[in-house]
Amino acid sequence: MSDATAVNYETSIPNNVGLSHDRRVLRALERWHPGYLDWWHQMGPDGFQDSLVYLRTAVDVGAKGWAKFDYVRMPDYRWGILLAPPVEDRVIGFGQHRGEPAWQEVPGEYRAMLRRLCVIQGDTEPASVEQQRHLGKTAPSLYDMRNLFQVNVEEARHLWAMVYLLQKYFGRDGREDAEDLLLRRSGDPDRPRMLGAFNEETPDWLSFFMFTFFTDRDGKMQLESLARSGFDPLSRTTRFMLTEEAHHMFVGETGVARVIQRTCEAMRDAGIGDVDDIEAVRALGVIDLPTIQKKANLHYSLSLDLFGSEISTNAANAYNAGLKGRYREERIEDDHRLEHDTYPVLSLVDGEAVTVDAPALTALNMRLRDDYARDAAAGIARWNRVIERTGIPFRVTLPSVAFNRAIGTFAPIEADPDGTIIARETFEARRHDWLPSPADGDFIASLMEQQTEPGTYAGWIAPPRSGIDNKPGDFEYVRLS
Protein backbone atom coordinates (compact mmCIF):
# COMPACT_ATOMS: atom_id res chain seq x y z
CA MET A 1 0.00 0.00 0.00
CA SER A 2 1.23 3.47 -0.73
CA ASP A 3 1.87 5.97 2.00
CA ALA A 4 -1.14 7.90 0.89
CA THR A 5 -3.63 5.45 2.24
CA ALA A 6 -1.95 5.57 5.62
CA VAL A 7 -2.79 9.24 6.03
CA ASN A 8 -6.08 10.42 7.32
CA TYR A 9 -6.16 13.77 5.62
CA GLU A 10 -9.09 15.08 7.57
CA THR A 11 -7.46 14.81 10.97
CA SER A 12 -3.72 14.31 10.72
CA ILE A 13 -2.78 17.51 8.95
CA PRO A 14 -2.52 20.41 11.38
CA ASN A 15 -4.57 23.18 9.88
CA ASN A 16 -6.74 26.13 10.62
CA VAL A 17 -8.40 26.28 7.23
CA GLY A 18 -11.27 23.86 7.86
CA LEU A 19 -9.60 21.17 5.81
CA SER A 20 -11.97 18.42 6.92
CA HIS A 21 -14.86 20.24 5.23
CA ASP A 22 -13.01 21.29 2.11
CA ARG A 23 -13.60 18.50 -0.38
CA ARG A 24 -11.85 20.21 -3.21
CA VAL A 25 -8.57 20.66 -1.35
CA LEU A 26 -8.81 17.27 0.33
CA ARG A 27 -9.18 15.56 -2.99
CA ALA A 28 -6.30 17.52 -4.47
CA LEU A 29 -4.09 16.83 -1.48
CA GLU A 30 -4.82 13.13 -1.62
CA ARG A 31 -3.43 13.10 -5.12
CA TRP A 32 -0.47 15.34 -4.39
CA HIS A 33 0.65 13.89 -1.09
CA PRO A 34 2.10 10.55 -2.30
CA GLY A 35 4.22 12.44 -4.81
CA TYR A 36 5.27 14.81 -2.08
CA LEU A 37 6.45 11.94 0.14
CA ASP A 38 8.32 10.43 -2.79
CA TRP A 39 9.99 13.76 -3.28
CA TRP A 40 10.93 14.00 0.39
CA HIS A 41 12.42 10.51 0.33
CA GLN A 42 14.35 11.20 -2.86
CA MET A 43 15.41 14.77 -2.22
CA GLY A 44 15.11 15.31 1.55
CA PRO A 45 18.06 14.90 3.98
CA ASP A 46 20.13 12.00 2.74
CA GLY A 47 20.78 9.26 5.29
CA PHE A 48 18.62 10.56 8.15
CA GLN A 49 15.10 9.59 7.23
CA ASP A 50 14.90 7.13 10.13
CA SER A 51 16.65 9.27 12.72
CA LEU A 52 14.67 10.80 15.53
CA VAL A 53 15.08 14.56 15.39
CA TYR A 54 14.08 16.97 18.12
CA LEU A 55 11.89 19.20 15.97
CA ARG A 56 9.49 22.01 16.46
CA THR A 57 6.11 21.40 14.88
CA ALA A 58 3.48 24.04 14.37
CA VAL A 59 0.05 22.59 15.13
CA ASP A 60 -1.74 25.89 15.56
CA VAL A 61 -1.02 29.56 15.00
CA GLY A 62 -1.65 30.61 18.62
CA ALA A 63 1.12 31.17 21.19
CA LYS A 64 0.68 27.66 22.53
CA GLY A 65 0.47 25.82 19.27
CA TRP A 66 3.14 27.18 16.97
CA ALA A 67 6.11 25.56 18.70
CA LYS A 68 5.55 21.99 19.90
CA PHE A 69 8.94 20.27 20.45
CA ASP A 70 9.36 16.53 20.26
CA TYR A 71 11.38 13.75 18.66
CA VAL A 72 10.06 13.02 15.18
CA ARG A 73 11.14 10.92 12.22
CA MET A 74 11.22 13.47 9.43
CA PRO A 75 8.96 11.59 6.98
CA ASP A 76 6.39 11.52 9.79
CA TYR A 77 6.66 15.26 10.39
CA ARG A 78 3.21 16.80 10.54
CA TRP A 79 3.37 19.32 7.77
CA GLY A 80 0.41 21.54 8.19
CA ILE A 81 -1.57 24.31 6.56
CA LEU A 82 -1.59 27.28 8.84
CA LEU A 83 -2.62 30.81 8.13
CA ALA A 84 -2.16 33.77 10.44
CA PRO A 85 -5.47 34.66 12.13
CA PRO A 86 -7.76 36.81 9.99
CA VAL A 87 -7.74 40.55 10.57
CA GLU A 88 -11.29 41.75 10.85
CA ASP A 89 -12.45 44.11 8.08
CA ARG A 90 -9.01 44.08 6.48
CA VAL A 91 -8.73 46.46 3.52
CA ILE A 92 -6.23 46.57 0.66
CA GLY A 93 -3.42 48.89 1.64
CA PHE A 94 -1.96 50.04 -1.67
CA GLY A 95 -2.37 50.27 -5.41
CA GLN A 96 -5.45 51.17 -7.35
CA HIS A 97 -7.72 49.13 -5.05
CA ARG A 98 -6.45 50.83 -1.89
CA GLY A 99 -9.21 51.05 0.69
CA GLU A 100 -11.35 48.31 -0.84
CA PRO A 101 -12.04 45.18 1.25
CA ALA A 102 -9.31 42.56 0.91
CA TRP A 103 -10.21 39.73 -1.48
CA GLN A 104 -11.13 36.37 -0.02
CA GLU A 105 -11.32 34.80 -3.46
CA VAL A 106 -8.98 35.30 -6.42
CA PRO A 107 -10.17 38.17 -8.64
CA GLY A 108 -10.40 36.68 -12.13
CA GLU A 109 -8.48 39.49 -13.78
CA TYR A 110 -5.47 38.93 -11.51
CA ARG A 111 -5.55 35.17 -11.59
CA ALA A 112 -2.52 34.75 -13.85
CA MET A 113 -0.42 37.24 -11.90
CA LEU A 114 -1.30 35.76 -8.51
CA ARG A 115 -0.69 32.27 -9.71
CA ARG A 116 2.75 33.23 -10.95
CA LEU A 117 3.60 34.82 -7.61
CA CYS A 118 2.57 31.64 -5.78
CA VAL A 119 4.47 29.37 -8.18
CA ILE A 120 7.69 31.37 -8.03
CA GLN A 121 7.56 31.60 -4.24
CA GLY A 122 6.61 27.92 -4.02
CA ASP A 123 9.49 26.86 -6.28
CA THR A 124 12.12 28.27 -3.95
CA GLU A 125 10.95 26.29 -0.92
CA PRO A 126 11.74 22.71 -1.98
CA ALA A 127 14.81 23.96 -3.86
CA SER A 128 16.75 24.76 -0.70
CA VAL A 129 15.91 21.35 0.78
CA GLU A 130 17.40 19.81 -2.34
CA GLN A 131 20.46 22.00 -2.16
CA GLN A 132 21.11 21.04 1.45
CA ARG A 133 20.33 17.34 1.36
CA HIS A 134 23.88 16.06 1.86
CA LEU A 135 24.89 18.39 4.66
CA GLY A 136 23.72 16.12 7.50
CA LYS A 137 26.69 13.88 6.84
CA THR A 138 29.14 16.64 7.70
CA ALA A 139 27.25 18.39 10.50
CA PRO A 140 29.65 19.98 13.00
CA SER A 141 27.37 18.97 15.92
CA LEU A 142 24.01 17.39 16.66
CA TYR A 143 22.77 20.89 17.53
CA ASP A 144 23.60 22.13 14.04
CA MET A 145 22.30 18.98 12.43
CA ARG A 146 18.98 19.51 14.16
CA ASN A 147 18.84 23.13 13.04
CA LEU A 148 19.48 22.05 9.46
CA PHE A 149 16.64 19.56 9.60
CA GLN A 150 14.35 22.11 11.25
CA VAL A 151 15.04 24.49 8.38
CA ASN A 152 14.42 21.66 5.89
CA VAL A 153 11.06 20.56 7.27
CA GLU A 154 9.92 24.15 7.51
CA GLU A 155 10.92 24.95 3.97
CA ALA A 156 8.91 21.91 3.01
CA ARG A 157 5.99 23.22 5.04
CA HIS A 158 6.30 26.48 3.10
CA LEU A 159 5.94 24.40 -0.03
CA TRP A 160 2.73 23.03 1.48
CA ALA A 161 1.55 26.55 2.13
CA MET A 162 1.91 27.53 -1.51
CA VAL A 163 0.51 24.21 -2.70
CA TYR A 164 -2.55 24.81 -0.55
CA LEU A 165 -3.12 28.19 -2.20
CA LEU A 166 -2.62 26.73 -5.66
CA GLN A 167 -5.00 23.84 -5.02
CA LYS A 168 -7.61 25.86 -3.23
CA TYR A 169 -7.81 28.90 -5.48
CA PHE A 170 -6.47 28.12 -8.94
CA GLY A 171 -8.42 25.11 -10.14
CA ARG A 172 -6.91 22.59 -12.51
CA ASP A 173 -4.04 24.89 -13.46
CA GLY A 174 -3.14 25.24 -9.80
CA ARG A 175 -3.18 21.50 -9.28
CA GLU A 176 -0.83 21.06 -12.23
CA ASP A 177 1.45 23.76 -10.88
CA ALA A 178 1.53 21.92 -7.54
CA GLU A 179 2.61 18.74 -9.32
CA ASP A 180 5.29 20.60 -11.23
CA LEU A 181 6.74 21.98 -8.01
CA LEU A 182 7.69 18.39 -7.20
CA LEU A 183 9.19 17.73 -10.63
CA ARG A 184 11.74 20.50 -10.90
CA ARG A 185 15.09 19.84 -9.22
CA SER A 186 17.76 22.21 -8.01
CA GLY A 187 20.72 22.20 -10.37
CA ASP A 188 19.13 19.75 -12.80
CA PRO A 189 20.05 20.91 -16.29
CA ASP A 190 16.79 19.51 -17.68
CA ARG A 191 14.32 20.74 -15.08
CA PRO A 192 16.04 23.41 -13.04
CA ARG A 193 14.40 25.43 -10.31
CA MET A 194 13.10 28.72 -11.60
CA LEU A 195 15.56 31.13 -9.96
CA GLY A 196 19.33 31.08 -10.40
CA ALA A 197 20.49 31.12 -6.76
CA PHE A 198 18.37 28.05 -6.09
CA ASN A 199 20.33 26.04 -8.63
CA GLU A 200 23.70 26.78 -7.00
CA GLU A 201 25.39 24.18 -4.86
CA THR A 202 25.46 24.34 -1.07
CA PRO A 203 28.63 22.26 -0.72
CA ASP A 204 29.57 22.90 2.91
CA TRP A 205 28.27 24.26 6.16
CA LEU A 206 29.71 27.72 5.76
CA SER A 207 27.74 27.91 2.51
CA PHE A 208 24.66 26.72 4.36
CA PHE A 209 24.98 29.43 6.99
CA MET A 210 25.65 32.05 4.32
CA PHE A 211 22.67 30.81 2.34
CA THR A 212 20.32 31.02 5.31
CA PHE A 213 21.68 34.46 6.16
CA PHE A 214 21.64 36.00 2.68
CA THR A 215 19.28 33.98 0.50
CA ASP A 216 16.63 33.22 3.09
CA ARG A 217 16.68 36.92 3.82
CA ASP A 218 15.57 37.52 0.25
CA GLY A 219 12.82 35.03 1.06
CA LYS A 220 11.93 37.11 4.07
CA MET A 221 11.69 40.29 1.99
CA GLN A 222 9.52 38.57 -0.61
CA LEU A 223 7.25 37.16 2.10
CA GLU A 224 7.08 40.58 3.76
CA SER A 225 5.84 42.05 0.46
CA LEU A 226 3.35 39.25 -0.08
CA ALA A 227 2.14 39.57 3.52
CA ARG A 228 0.72 42.97 2.44
CA SER A 229 -1.23 41.35 -0.40
CA GLY A 230 -4.82 42.35 -1.02
CA PHE A 231 -5.49 38.65 -1.62
CA ASP A 232 -6.15 37.80 2.00
CA PRO A 233 -5.33 34.07 1.98
CA LEU A 234 -1.88 34.87 0.53
CA SER A 235 -1.34 37.57 3.12
CA ARG A 236 -2.32 35.31 6.00
CA THR A 237 -0.23 32.41 4.70
CA THR A 238 2.92 34.46 4.28
CA ARG A 239 2.50 36.19 7.63
CA PHE A 240 2.68 32.85 9.36
CA MET A 241 5.59 31.71 7.19
CA LEU A 242 7.55 34.76 8.36
CA THR A 243 7.60 33.51 11.95
CA GLU A 244 9.41 30.40 10.72
CA GLU A 245 11.65 32.26 8.31
CA ALA A 246 13.01 34.30 11.23
CA HIS A 247 14.43 31.09 12.70
CA HIS A 248 16.23 30.29 9.46
CA MET A 249 17.97 33.62 9.52
CA PHE A 250 18.84 33.06 13.16
CA VAL A 251 20.54 29.81 12.11
CA GLY A 252 22.49 31.66 9.43
CA GLU A 253 23.47 34.68 11.41
CA THR A 254 24.56 32.78 14.52
CA GLY A 255 26.17 30.05 12.41
CA VAL A 256 28.49 32.49 10.64
CA ALA A 257 29.05 34.38 13.90
CA ARG A 258 30.16 31.15 15.60
CA VAL A 259 32.57 30.37 12.75
CA ILE A 260 34.00 33.88 12.99
CA GLN A 261 34.24 33.63 16.76
CA ARG A 262 36.11 30.35 16.59
CA THR A 263 38.55 31.68 14.01
CA CYS A 264 39.25 34.86 15.94
CA GLU A 265 39.70 33.03 19.23
CA ALA A 266 42.04 30.51 17.64
CA MET A 267 44.09 33.32 16.08
CA ARG A 268 44.24 35.18 19.35
CA ASP A 269 45.25 32.06 21.29
CA ALA A 270 47.95 31.27 18.74
CA GLY A 271 49.16 34.86 18.70
CA ILE A 272 48.43 35.39 14.99
CA GLY A 273 47.70 39.06 14.35
CA ASP A 274 47.93 39.08 10.56
CA VAL A 275 44.55 38.11 9.16
CA ASP A 276 46.13 37.62 5.74
CA ASP A 277 48.50 34.93 6.98
CA ILE A 278 46.05 32.43 5.63
CA GLU A 279 48.32 29.41 5.85
CA ALA A 280 49.02 29.96 9.52
CA VAL A 281 45.33 30.45 10.28
CA ARG A 282 44.30 27.40 8.32
CA ALA A 283 46.95 25.33 10.08
CA LEU A 284 44.88 25.92 13.23
CA GLY A 285 41.98 24.05 11.64
CA VAL A 286 39.77 27.11 11.34
CA ILE A 287 38.49 29.11 8.36
CA ASP A 288 40.48 32.29 7.71
CA LEU A 289 38.57 35.59 7.68
CA PRO A 290 39.38 36.54 4.04
CA THR A 291 37.76 33.29 2.89
CA ILE A 292 34.69 34.06 5.00
CA GLN A 293 34.57 37.46 3.29
CA LYS A 294 34.74 35.77 -0.13
CA LYS A 295 31.86 33.49 0.79
CA ALA A 296 29.84 36.53 1.86
CA ASN A 297 30.67 38.25 -1.43
CA LEU A 298 29.40 35.26 -3.37
CA HIS A 299 26.16 34.70 -1.50
CA TYR A 300 25.28 38.38 -1.28
CA SER A 301 25.71 38.92 -5.02
CA LEU A 302 23.74 35.76 -5.90
CA SER A 303 20.96 36.84 -3.57
CA LEU A 304 20.78 40.34 -5.07
CA ASP A 305 20.02 38.68 -8.41
CA LEU A 306 16.88 37.22 -6.86
CA PHE A 307 15.34 40.68 -6.75
CA GLY A 308 15.23 40.75 -10.54
CA SER A 309 15.74 43.79 -12.73
CA GLU A 310 15.88 47.13 -10.95
CA ILE A 311 13.14 48.41 -13.22
CA SER A 312 10.34 45.88 -13.48
CA THR A 313 6.99 45.95 -15.16
CA ASN A 314 5.89 42.81 -13.35
CA ALA A 315 6.60 44.35 -9.96
CA ALA A 316 4.74 47.51 -10.99
CA ASN A 317 1.73 45.53 -12.16
CA ALA A 318 1.64 43.43 -9.00
CA TYR A 319 1.79 46.51 -6.80
CA ASN A 320 -0.80 48.48 -8.69
CA ALA A 321 -3.10 45.48 -8.67
CA GLY A 322 -2.76 45.26 -4.89
CA LEU A 323 -1.12 41.83 -4.96
CA LYS A 324 2.40 42.52 -3.70
CA GLY A 325 3.27 45.50 -1.53
CA ARG A 326 6.43 47.05 -0.20
CA TYR A 327 8.45 46.08 2.86
CA ARG A 328 6.56 47.51 5.83
CA GLU A 329 4.09 49.21 3.51
CA GLU A 330 1.90 50.46 6.33
CA ARG A 331 4.78 52.35 7.93
CA ILE A 332 5.63 54.26 4.76
CA GLU A 333 4.20 57.75 4.55
CA ASP A 334 3.00 58.39 1.03
CA ASP A 335 -0.15 57.89 -1.01
CA HIS A 336 0.45 54.14 -1.40
CA ARG A 337 -0.41 54.43 -5.10
CA LEU A 338 2.89 55.74 -6.45
CA GLU A 339 1.49 56.95 -9.73
CA HIS A 340 3.38 60.21 -9.58
CA ASP A 341 6.37 59.40 -7.34
CA THR A 342 9.94 58.63 -8.26
CA TYR A 343 12.58 56.51 -6.61
CA PRO A 344 16.37 56.77 -6.99
CA VAL A 345 17.75 53.83 -8.95
CA LEU A 346 21.43 53.06 -9.33
CA SER A 347 21.87 52.69 -13.07
CA LEU A 348 24.59 52.20 -15.60
CA VAL A 349 24.82 55.24 -17.86
CA ASP A 350 27.63 55.38 -20.41
CA GLY A 351 29.62 52.86 -18.40
CA GLU A 352 29.27 54.65 -15.08
CA ALA A 353 27.10 53.88 -12.09
CA VAL A 354 24.87 56.87 -11.42
CA THR A 355 21.65 57.41 -9.53
CA VAL A 356 18.66 58.12 -11.75
CA ASP A 357 15.15 58.96 -10.60
CA ALA A 358 12.76 56.37 -12.03
CA PRO A 359 8.96 56.11 -11.71
CA ALA A 360 8.46 54.65 -8.25
CA LEU A 361 5.97 52.10 -9.48
CA THR A 362 8.48 50.45 -11.79
CA ALA A 363 11.34 50.74 -9.28
CA LEU A 364 9.81 48.52 -6.61
CA ASN A 365 12.38 45.75 -7.02
CA MET A 366 15.09 48.34 -6.45
CA ARG A 367 13.38 49.59 -3.34
CA LEU A 368 12.94 46.10 -1.90
CA ARG A 369 16.58 45.38 -2.64
CA ASP A 370 17.60 48.52 -0.79
CA ASP A 371 15.54 47.40 2.21
CA TYR A 372 17.22 44.02 1.96
CA ALA A 373 20.70 45.52 1.87
CA ARG A 374 19.97 47.53 5.02
CA ASP A 375 18.60 44.45 6.76
CA ALA A 376 21.66 42.40 5.79
CA ALA A 377 24.04 45.18 6.88
CA ALA A 378 22.58 45.07 10.38
CA GLY A 379 23.47 41.38 10.63
CA ILE A 380 26.97 42.04 9.32
CA ALA A 381 27.45 44.66 12.03
CA ARG A 382 26.71 42.00 14.63
CA TRP A 383 29.35 39.73 13.09
CA ASN A 384 31.84 42.57 13.26
CA ARG A 385 31.14 43.07 16.96
CA VAL A 386 32.17 39.42 17.48
CA ILE A 387 35.46 40.17 15.72
CA GLU A 388 35.98 43.43 17.63
CA ARG A 389 35.60 41.69 20.98
CA THR A 390 38.60 39.49 20.13
CA GLY A 391 40.70 42.44 19.03
CA ILE A 392 41.44 41.04 15.55
CA PRO A 393 41.77 43.90 13.05
CA PHE A 394 39.19 42.85 10.42
CA ARG A 395 35.76 43.82 9.33
CA VAL A 396 33.37 41.88 7.12
CA THR A 397 31.84 44.18 4.50
CA LEU A 398 29.11 43.88 1.89
CA PRO A 399 30.37 44.18 -1.67
CA SER A 400 28.94 46.77 -4.05
CA VAL A 401 25.66 45.91 -5.77
CA ALA A 402 27.59 46.18 -9.04
CA PHE A 403 29.85 43.26 -8.10
CA ASN A 404 29.40 39.79 -9.69
CA ARG A 405 25.89 40.30 -11.00
CA ALA A 406 24.04 38.17 -13.52
CA ILE A 407 20.72 40.02 -13.52
CA GLY A 408 19.86 43.71 -13.75
CA THR A 409 21.70 46.84 -14.78
CA PHE A 410 25.12 45.59 -13.81
CA ALA A 411 24.88 42.18 -15.44
CA PRO A 412 26.75 43.20 -18.61
CA ILE A 413 29.76 44.73 -16.79
CA GLU A 414 32.27 43.64 -14.18
CA ALA A 415 33.09 45.59 -11.04
CA ASP A 416 35.37 45.04 -8.06
CA PRO A 417 33.79 44.69 -4.61
CA ASP A 418 34.09 48.46 -4.12
CA GLY A 419 31.96 49.03 -7.19
CA THR A 420 34.69 50.32 -9.49
CA ILE A 421 33.91 49.16 -13.00
CA ILE A 422 36.77 47.11 -14.40
CA ALA A 423 37.59 45.14 -17.53
CA ARG A 424 36.38 41.59 -17.76
CA GLU A 425 39.98 40.34 -18.01
CA THR A 426 40.88 42.20 -14.83
CA PHE A 427 37.92 40.66 -13.07
CA GLU A 428 38.82 37.19 -14.22
CA ALA A 429 42.43 37.67 -13.19
CA ARG A 430 41.34 38.68 -9.70
CA ARG A 431 38.26 36.50 -9.41
CA HIS A 432 39.69 34.34 -6.68
CA ASP A 433 40.78 37.32 -4.62
CA TRP A 434 37.11 38.16 -4.27
CA LEU A 435 35.20 34.92 -4.70
CA PRO A 436 35.96 31.47 -3.28
CA SER A 437 38.45 29.48 -5.38
CA PRO A 438 38.29 25.72 -5.82
CA ALA A 439 41.25 25.54 -3.39
CA ASP A 440 39.27 27.50 -0.78
CA GLY A 441 36.39 25.07 -1.28
CA ASP A 442 38.74 22.10 -0.89
CA PHE A 443 40.12 23.51 2.32
CA ILE A 444 36.67 24.07 3.81
CA ALA A 445 35.60 20.62 2.67
CA SER A 446 38.59 19.14 4.46
CA LEU A 447 37.27 20.52 7.74
CA MET A 448 33.78 19.10 7.29
CA GLU A 449 33.59 16.07 9.55
CA GLN A 450 30.45 14.88 11.20
CA GLN A 451 30.31 15.19 15.00
CA THR A 452 27.82 12.81 16.58
CA GLU A 453 28.63 13.07 20.29
CA PRO A 454 26.08 15.23 22.12
CA GLY A 455 27.69 18.49 23.22
CA THR A 456 30.69 18.07 20.92
CA TYR A 457 31.51 20.65 18.23
CA ALA A 458 33.84 20.55 15.24
CA GLY A 459 37.00 22.51 15.75
CA TRP A 460 36.14 25.22 13.21
CA ILE A 461 32.97 26.43 14.93
CA ALA A 462 32.20 27.70 18.42
CA PRO A 463 29.33 26.20 20.45
CA PRO A 464 26.12 28.23 20.61
CA ARG A 465 25.42 30.43 23.60
CA SER A 466 22.27 28.50 24.50
CA GLY A 467 20.38 25.42 23.38
CA ILE A 468 17.18 24.98 21.48
CA ASP A 469 14.04 24.91 23.63
CA ASN A 470 16.31 25.75 26.60
CA LYS A 471 17.95 22.36 26.43
CA PRO A 472 21.34 21.82 28.11
CA GLY A 473 24.61 21.75 26.15
CA ASP A 474 24.89 17.96 25.93
CA PHE A 475 21.31 17.42 24.81
CA GLU A 476 20.93 14.73 22.15
CA TYR A 477 19.17 16.75 19.44
CA VAL A 478 19.31 13.93 16.93
CA ARG A 479 19.11 10.24 17.75
CA LEU A 480 20.92 8.68 14.83
CA SER A 481 19.45 5.40 13.76
Partner 1 sequence: MRIDFETCPARYRHWTLATEGTVAELVLAVDETGGLFDGYELKLNSYDLGVDIELHDAVQRLRFEHPEVRSVVIRSGRDRVFCAGANIRMLAGSSHGHKVNFCKFTNETRNAMEDASAHSGQRYIAAINGACAGGGYELALACDHIILVDDGTSAVSLPEVSVLAVLPGTGGITRVTDKRKVRRDRADILCTTEEGVRGQRARDWRLVDEVVPGSRFDAAVAARAEASTAASDRPAQDSGMMLEPLERHFEPDRVRYGLVDVTFERAARRATITVSGPASGPPETPDAIPRHSSRFWPLELARELDDALLHLRFNEPDITIVQFRSEGDPALVLAHDGFLCAHASHWLVREVSLFWTRVMKRVDLTSRSLLALVEQGSCFAGFLAELVLACDRSFMAEGRFEGDNRPDAALALTASSFGVHPMANGLSRLATRFLGEPEHLERLREETGTLLDADSAAELGLVTAACDDIDWEDEVRLFLEERASFSPDALTGLEANTRFAGPETMETKIFGRLSAWQNWIFQRPNATGPDGALRLYGTGRRAGFDRERV
Find the shortest distance in angstroms from Cβ 93 to partner 1. Answer: 16
Find the shortest distance in angstroms from Cβ 142 to partner 1. Answer: 36
Stretch that binds partner 1, among 46-54, 309-317, 388-396, 466-474 (CB under 8 A): 309-317
- Site for partner 1 contains 32 (CB under 8 A): no
Contact 291, 275 (CB under 8 A): no
Find the shortest distance in angstroms from Cβ 313 to partner 1. Answer: 5
Find the shortest distance in angstroms from Cβ 304 to partner 1. Answer: 18
Find the shortest distance in angstroms from Cβ 109 to partner 1. Answer: 8
Find the shortest distance in angstroms from Cβ 316 to partner 1. Answer: 2
- Site for partner 1 contains 317 (CB under 8 A): yes
Considering only 362, 365, 400, 404, the residue that binds partner 1 (CB under 8 A) is 362
Q: How many residues bind partner 1 (CB under 8 A)?
A: 24
- Site for partner 1 contains 373 (CB under 8 A): no
- Minimum CB distance to partner 1 smaller for 42 or for 96: 96
- Site for partner 1 contains 349 (CB under 8 A): no
- Site for partner 1 contains 319 (CB under 8 A): yes
Those residues with Cβ within 8 angstroms of residue 193's Cβ, 6 or more apart along the chain or in another chain: 123, 124, 127, 130, 184, 185, 186, 187, 199
Considering only 24, 191, 268, 389, the residue that binds partner 1 (CB under 8 A) is 191
Residues 90-149 that bind partner 1 (CB under 8 A): 96, 112, 115-116
- Minimum CB distance to partner 1 smaller for 271 or for 351: 351
Considering only 72, 241, 315, 345, the residue that binds partner 1 (CB under 8 A) is 315
Stretch that binds partner 1, among 14-22, 265-273, 319-327, 416-424 (CB under 8 A): 319-327
Residues 436-465 that bind partner 1 (CB under 8 A): none
- Site for partner 1 contains 359 (CB under 8 A): yes
- Minimum CB distance to partner 1 smaller for 313 or for 481: 313
- Site for partner 1 contains 355 (CB under 8 A): no
Stretch that binds partner 1, among 23-31, 49-57, 188-196, 367-375 (CB under 8 A): 188-196
Find the shortest distance in angstroms from Cβ 35 to partner 1. Answer: 14
What b/e sequence results for 462-479 when a residue is b if at least 16 CB atoms lie within 10 Å of its CB, and e otherwise? bbbeebbeebeeebbbbe
Find the shortest distance in angstroms from Cβ 182 to partner 1. Answer: 10
- Site for partner 1 contains 409 (CB under 8 A): no
Stretch that binds partner 1, among 236-244, 285-293, 358-366, 396-404 (CB under 8 A): 358-366
- Site for partner 1 contains 335 (CB under 8 A): no
Report the interface residues with partner 1, using CB under 8 A. Answer: 96, 112, 115-116, 180, 183-184, 189-192, 194, 313, 315-317, 319-321, 338-339, 359, 361-362
